[in-house]
Amino acid sequence: MRYSRQTAFAGLGESGQQKLSAARVAVVGVGALGTVAANCLARAGAGFLRLIDRDYVELTNLHRQMLFTENDARRRIPKAAAAAARLAEANSEIVLEPIVADFNAANAETFLSGIDLVLDAVDNWECRFLLNDICRQKEIPWIYCAALAAEGMTMNFLPGHHPCLQCVVPKQTLTGLQPTCVTAGVLNMAAGAIASIQAAEAVKILTDSPTVRQGLFTADFWNNRFKTIPFEQDADCPVCVHRRFDRLTLPENIQVLKICGQNTIQITPFPPRRFDLENLAGRLQSAGKIDRQPFMVSCETEHHRLTFFSDGRALIENAADEGQAKSLYAEYAGT
């Protein structure tokens, strides 16, 4: 009875629902796009959802990240955990696996193991190109999605003789300063609409529908402009033609990333390390105010807030530059 209004749709039916119930989906990024897409798939009955996100809920998220509450923001709950808890209340018949971690070259293969489809809901191009590499290497379909201001776009990337992200967006076109949701803003309606379109394509792919869209779909929801742009595979593409997956090579030292739209720098150690959060919280007691959560521990000093996760990462707020962020990481967490 749960899915009766859904299976009544001729495009899906009982057979499509069975395929959907057996599907295993990874949602990489559980923010404005990921919360909407995950919500659609969870309620539709996708059998397994792996929710991957590195961040925690903040007040500025709430206008567009549909699964979170003010209480989540006050408690700084990791987004993956908060989303899984909310979705479990909506559908107890599916399996939800929250992963509080940065998606990177060290864990990409593990996190996508056994997955049938990947939804991109991230906020940076480095992660998208990494997704492109790992999904092409493992022949996993994935769906790109992005929203900014009143615009959104999405594209299905399928195994075989189809274009990949490298064909569509050569990396050299991304040089220079890129706008963010802080500088350009974002309407929750735009994010929600494009993520719902992404989720619809996900259901079509998972149920072997003949109507899976080809090309890049773009929408300007403010000015009512919608179009689909066709793309062909680049005959000389290093990824999908020559099968070079350079982004899967592990860095040799610390990776530093400026978080989109925030005065925050993420430090990720390589090779990976693990934090004993209880031990770390004890060591940080004398440094500042401590906030201990199941997935992380934060230390608020006079000038900075440092948030350490069990996977070895840290978010450094108010660092002057990358060099200071790395120094603070070493000072408080050790090397």
| Residues labelled catalytic | 181
DSSP string, 232-285: ---TT-TTTTT---GGGSPPSS-EEEEPTTSSEEEEE-SS-----HHHHHHHHT
Token pair for residue 42? 């969870």
Say if residue 149 is exposed, middle or buried (CB neighbours under 10 Å; 0-12, 13-18, 19+).
Answer: middle
Residues 6+ apart with CB under 8 A from 109: 134, 138, 248
Residue 122: strand, helix, or coil: coil
Measured from the Cβ of residue 69, the count of other Cβ atoms closer than 10 Å reads 13
Separation between Cα atoms, residue 328 and residue 277, nearest integer Å: 17
